[in-house]
């Protein structure tokens, strides 16, 4: 039987199909572009250039994996912090929950203002009032009991303005930055003024940062043997404040290595960024998140003046939320 000749048109069509499949395969095989929620610009370029320098074999700035340490503030850097720190809302809710056990609070400040819903009255008492509330709400229980309380609250409590769960008010671009650094051999740590045991119950699920990589402020604790077994009890005394000059101390105590990358957003992070960059050889990355977006988040400079001035003097990277971020929060789950 005589074979039919292959028509030129069909040969071209077959070749086109093969070529299309090959191109599609190659495109699919390429890794996704890092930091998809970041707009192209100097800050995104600074991040990717830094990571290339410290991870590329043969680079003069190459850093071995064990030394790739990155530290992140939490409030205002990884999640929102307005109109109040989220841990303050936790404390206020705890005071209300504990009020039936403390009838004296009805007439005793700052507790009476909390129970009346007078937030201005609470804040009028300043740091002294907030510390009194924090000690009453967060101590006098075991660390295990406190962990359960935090988990229950964080699973249901919602922001008073957005109605979102607090864990939904994390910054999508920063989640991507955490993941990008970890994909390149970094260990990511949270170094926050917030309570270490307030953050530990949820940071791994939300940020991918395990509890042993969380550094924060703490109360004093003590070991006790009870009939049903040993416990660590939380005492109503401050042990350590992980803010401002306390942050490098916390890093040195808990991590033992100096970071090569640090991210913050306020004057409370200035010393951490100094500890990471000043007087150090090789590539270093310092990011200062600047809240500039009134429509999608908040815009404010209060508590950031010194850090912004030093960022300019030391050539730190200032992230303009409105300009640099395509989105603020992760897409809402349906």
Task: Give the tens place of pLDDT for each residue, 223-267.
Answer: 999 999 999 999 999 999 999 999 999 999 999 999 999 999 999
State the pLDDT at residue 7: 53
State the pLDDT at residue 13: 45
Domain with CATH 3.40.50.1000 in the chain: 42-81+166-324
Count of all residues that appear for the chain in the document = 334
Residue 15 has pLDDT above 70, yes or no: no
Half-sphere exposure of 202 (CA within 13 A, CB side): 22
Q: Which pLDDT tens digit goes with each residue over 93-112?
A: 999 999 999 999 999 999 99
CATH class name, domain 42-81+166-324: alpha beta
Residue 28 has pLDDT above 70, yes or no: no
State the pLDDT at residue 16: 41
Provide, for the chain, the percentages of residues in helix, strand and coil under a 3-state DSSP scheme, each rounded to the nearest 5: 50, 20, 35
259, 286 Cβ separation under 8 angstroms = no
pLDDT band at 332 (very low <50, low <70, confident <90, very high): confident
pTM for this structure? 0.89
SS3 of 193-257: EEEHHHHCCCHHHHHCCCHHHEEEEEEEEEEEEECCEEEEEEEEEEEECCCCCHHHHHHHHHCCC
**What percentage of residues in the chain have a pLDDT greater than 70?**
90
Q: Are strands 317-320 and 214-226 parallel, antiparallel or unpaired?
A: unpaired
| 282 secondary structure, DSSP code | S
């Amino acid at each position: 039987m005589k074979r039919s000749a292959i028509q030129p048109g069909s040969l071209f069509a077959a070749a086109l199909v093969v070529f299309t499949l090959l191109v599609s395969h190659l495109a699919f095989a390429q890794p996704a572009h890092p930091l998809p929620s970041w707009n192209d610009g100097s800050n995104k370029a600074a991040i990717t250039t830094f990571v290339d320098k410290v991870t590329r074999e043969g680079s003069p700035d190459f850093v071995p994996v064990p030394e790739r340490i990155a530290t992140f503030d939490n409030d205002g850097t990884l999640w929102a912090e307005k109109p109040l720190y989220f841990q303050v809302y936790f404390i206020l809710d705890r005071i209300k929950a504990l009020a039936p056990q403390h009838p004296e609070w009805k007439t005793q400040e700052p507790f009476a203002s909390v129970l009346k819903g007078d937030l201005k009255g609470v804040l009028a008492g300043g740091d002294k009032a907030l510390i009194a509330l924090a000690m009453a709400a967060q101590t006098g229980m075991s660390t295990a009991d406190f962990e359960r309380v935090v988990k229950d609250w964080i699973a249901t409590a919602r922001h008073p303005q957005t109605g979102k769960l607090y864990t939904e008010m994390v910054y999508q671009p920063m989640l991507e930055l955490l993941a990008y650094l970890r994909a390149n051999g970094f260990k990511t740590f949270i170094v926050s003024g917030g309570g270490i045991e307030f953050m530990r119950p949820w940071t791994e699920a939300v940020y991918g940062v395990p509890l042993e990589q969380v550094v924060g402020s703490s109360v004093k604790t003590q070991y006790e043997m009870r009939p049903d077994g040993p416990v660590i009890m939380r005492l109503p005394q401050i042990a350590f404040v992980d803010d401002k000059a306390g942050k490098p101390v916390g890093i040195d105590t808990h991590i033992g290595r100096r970071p090569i990358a640090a991210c913050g957003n306020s004057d409370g992070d200035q010393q951490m960024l100094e500890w990471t960059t000043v007087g150090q050889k090789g590539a270093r990355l310092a990011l200062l998140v600047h809240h500039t977006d009134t429509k999608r988040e908040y815009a404010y400079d209060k508590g950031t003046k010194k850090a912004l001035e030093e960022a300019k003097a030391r050539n730190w990277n200032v992230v303009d939320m409105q300009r640099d971020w395509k989105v603020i929060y992760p897409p809402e789950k349906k």
